[in-house]
Amino acid sequence: MHNIGSYDERIQGFSWEIAERELDYQPGNVINIGWYITDRICQMGKGDKLALIWEGLGGKEKRYTYNDIRQLSNTIGQFLRDLGIQPEQRVCLFLDRIPELYIGFAGIIKTGAIAQPLFSAFGDESLLVRLENAETTAVITQKKHVGKIRKILDKLPHLKHIIIVDDNGKSPLQEREVAFNMEEAARVDQFEIQPTLAESPSVLHYTSGTTGMPKGVKHVHCSLISQYLTTSWVLDLKDDDIYWCTADPGWVTGTSYGIIGAWAMGVTQCVSDVGFSAETWYKFIERHRITVWYSAPTAIRSLMKAGDELVRQFDLSSLRHLASVGEPLNAEAVIWSNKVFGLMFHDSYWQTETGSIMISNYPGMKIKPGSMGKPFPGVTGAVVDPETYEQIQETGKIGLIAFRPGWPAMMRMYWNNEATYKGKFKNGWYIPGDRAYIDQDGYFWFVGRDDDIINTGGHLVSPFEVESALLEHPAVAESAVVAKPDFVNMEVVKAFVCLKPGYVASDELELEIMNFIRKKLSPLAMPQDIEYVPNLPKTRSGKIMRRVLKAKEWGEEIGDTSTLEDD
Ligand code: 6R9
């Protein structure tokens, strides 16, 4: 029996009280996610149960029980409090997928501070804009990443502490740096957890903006209510499951479902910090007898590419439920997974902003391959007219996806950016910025994004951010960045570049520019292709028409170019 029971019955008479009851939470009371994902599970008698099985390079493995993560998160919390970290200050996690990332997350939240996870692959520029915008007080990081912080330290007056978790004392610590070793520190058994309330801030995730710099999405402690119930009903976790969420906590999937959801249910999670290859992933599933697997279309398409024969070399019979998020999940991928694993990937749709799954295919419900499924019970979803924001009643007509605000995990604000936040609400709807249609059975079908943001392997990259970084290269006069189709990543970054006088187009220069962006921003934001052009198509008002360049890449009709500069 699936946790959700029958979808249609859950829709009738739905109330978030179902989750509140299961969490023993009463509105108005203290709610601290850090307590819920560690102490509460121990109080339920599961202190000796495994919370985390971690694997790193070179066959390293570490295991932590719920009592371990309770004590270790206390230890980190105490260390932060002793440093003087105050509730609601931002503490950034700039770590590879090591145990300190997962346990540190809980530790930060226990103090009432706000956890700000960032991908450790970020370069100094990506890091700078996010730490500057959040006015971050402390960063928890590793020796190998500290150089990137040192480089930008002068520009970060708010950053008081750089906490290094793997300092070996070999080279001297520099200004504002302090060493903390989670494994060696004296374990703190009793810690006074900050009595946060439903609306107290908990997590700050950065997501790419269309025209401006990245936006900090502020979440609050009661997001737990949605995250818990969606984990239960969509991912269908049960007490004896071994769960693997492949997402990095630098991305919202890695926190909402790679830390909070599963631990709030007291389930054993596995984490791999080894990187992707089809073989290592299958081995990981086989070795740990993974039962529930939450992944992303890019990974699934890479597995498809690796072929059916490889799958047969492993015993993957432990798997019982598969789910996916981040980009459109092609019908072929769903059909393929059913062929090779005997299970279909269940697509789910949501955003950093929504904090929890909004539209999904549920266990036990008929899957239409290629469809995102139906709104989560308790969430009112629709498609609306892009001009009037009136709900579209007509079956199959494309409009903007829209949700009625009111589910617990919804963002509460874009950090220091109320105007952009307000702009996301129209006619009483929250508008995520994606286009879709609804079929006669109420299933949602994704059509595309309503903006220029590039979705590369599930990661959102802002053309604006890449263009800004490109301008910092001495050879670049002007550039336009668009999505280029790609089988595995769905989209990759492509840059059209006009060179400054005196620079000559060459393959070496292309490589140099690519590398420049990789270091400044991240490997994902790095253009996979650079095309030198003498000039860029622009509107009469001087705006670059990315649409024209993108249509060319995708072999589509260019559409209305009446505002094009030299038509
Ligand atoms: C969780 C997450 C959100 C954007 C979203 C949409 C795209 C996510 C999708 C999907 C098609 C799906 N997206 N899931 N598109 N089908 N199942 O991905 O958060 O990084 O904020 O991205 O990703 O465009 O608006 P985030």
DSSP three-state, residue 223: helix
Judge if 480 and 424 occupy the same domain: no
Judge if 334 and 481 occupy the same domain: no
Residue at which a domain ends, from 437, 471, 503: 437
In a domain, 104, yes or no: yes
434 C-alpha to center of ligand 1: Å?
A: 9
Res 567: pLDDT: 40
Candidates 204, 246, 327, 410: which one to mutate for ligand 1, based on the most atoms within 8 Å of Cβ? 327
Res 295: pLDDT: 96
In angstroms, rounded to a whole number, what is the distance separating the alpha carbons of residues 224 and 356? 9
Is the CB of residue 522 below 6 angstroms from any atom belonging to ligand 1? no
In angstroms, rounded to a whole number, what is the distance separating the alpha carbons of residues 461 and 520? 14
Judge if 505 and 429 occupy the same domain: no
Judge if 340 and 404 occupy the same domain: yes
Instruction: Supply the Cα-derived Rg of the chain in whole angstroms.
Output: 23
565 C-alpha to center of ligand 1: Å?
A: 34
Judge if 28 and 120 occupy the same domain: yes
Judge if 431 and 463 occupy the same domain: no
In a domain, 565, yes or no: no
- Whether the pLDDT of residue 559 is over 70: the answer is no
Is the CB of residue 357 below 6 angstroms from any atom belonging to ligand 1? no
In angstroms, rounded to a whole number, what is the distance separating the alpha carbons of residues 284 and 272? 8
458 C-alpha to center of ligand 1: Å?
A: 7
In a domain, 511, yes or no: yes
In angstroms, rounded to a whole number, what is the distance separating the alpha carbons of residues 16 and 377? 9
Judge if 433 and 458 occupy the same domain: no
**Proportion of the chain above pLDDT 90, given as a percent:** 86
Model confidence at 199, pLDDT cuts 50, 70, 90, reads very high
- Whether the pLDDT of residue 241 is over 70: the answer is yes
For the chain, give the mean pLDDT: 94
Judge if 398 and 469 occupy the same domain: no
Can you tell me which residue has the tokens 């990974």?
A: 299
Q: Are 487 and 305 in contact (CB under 8 A)?
A: yes
In a domain, 442, yes or no: no
Res 130: pLDDT: 96
Provide the CATH number for the domain around residue 391. 3.40.50.12780
Judge if 465 and 433 occupy the same domain: no
Is the CB of residue 347 below 6 angstroms from any atom belonging to ligand 1? yes
Res 468: pLDDT: 86
Q: Are 79 and 180 in contact (CB under 8 A)?
A: yes
pTM: 0.93
449 C-alpha to center of ligand 1: Å?
A: 9
Residue at which a domain ends, from 405, 437, 469: 437
Instruction: Report the atom number in ligand 1 closest to the C-alpha of 347.
Output: 17
- 215 - beta bridge partners? 207
Nearest CA to ligand 1 atom 19: 351
Q: Could you read off the pLDDT of 257-292 as tens digits, one per residue?
A: 999 999 999 999 999 999 899 999 999 999 999 999
Q: Could you read off the pLDDT of 125-183 as tens digits, one per residue?
A: 999 999 999 999 999 999 999 999 999 999 999 999 999 999 988 889 999 999 999 99
Nearest CA to ligand 1 atom 10: 327
- Whether the pLDDT of residue 211 is over 70: the answer is no
Model confidence at 540, pLDDT cuts 50, 70, 90, reads low
Provide the CATH number for the domain around residue 494. 3.30.300.30
Res 542: pLDDT: 66
Residue at which a domain ends, from 408, 437, 466: 437
In a domain, 447, yes or no: no
Please state the three-class secondary structure of 394-425 as a single string: CCCCCEEEEECCCCCCCCCEECCCHHHHHHCE
Res 557: pLDDT: 73
Candidates 460, 462, 489, 524: which one to mutate for ligand 1, based on the most atoms within 8 Å of Cβ? 460
- Whether the pLDDT of residue 345 is over 50: the answer is yes
- Whether the pLDDT of residue 541 is over 80: the answer is no
- The mean pLDDT value for 228-235 works out to 98
DSSP three-state, residue 525: coil
351 C-alpha to center of ligand 1: Å?
A: 5
Instruction: Report the atom number in ligand 1 closest to the C-alpha of 353.
Output: 21
In a domain, 151, yes or no: yes
104-118, 203-217, 364-378, 508-522: segment of lowest average pLDDT: 203-217
**Proportion of the chain above pLDDT 70, given as a percent:** 97
Judge if 404 and 508 occupy the same domain: no
Q: Are 265 and 232 in contact (CB under 8 A)?
A: yes
Is the CB of residue 252 below 6 angstroms from any atom belonging to ligand 1? yes
Res 538: pLDDT: 78
The number of folded domains in the chain is: 2
Judge if 353 and 433 occupy the same domain: yes
- The mean pLDDT value for 95-119 works out to 98
Burial of 447 (0-12, 13-18, 19+ CB in 10 A): middle
Longest dimension (CA), the chain: 72
Judge if 310 and 229 occupy the same domain: yes
In a domain, 362, yes or no: yes
In a domain, 564, yes or no: no
Give the residue numbers spanning the domain of 468. Answer: 454-554
Res 259: pLDDT: 98
Res 551: pLDDT: 87
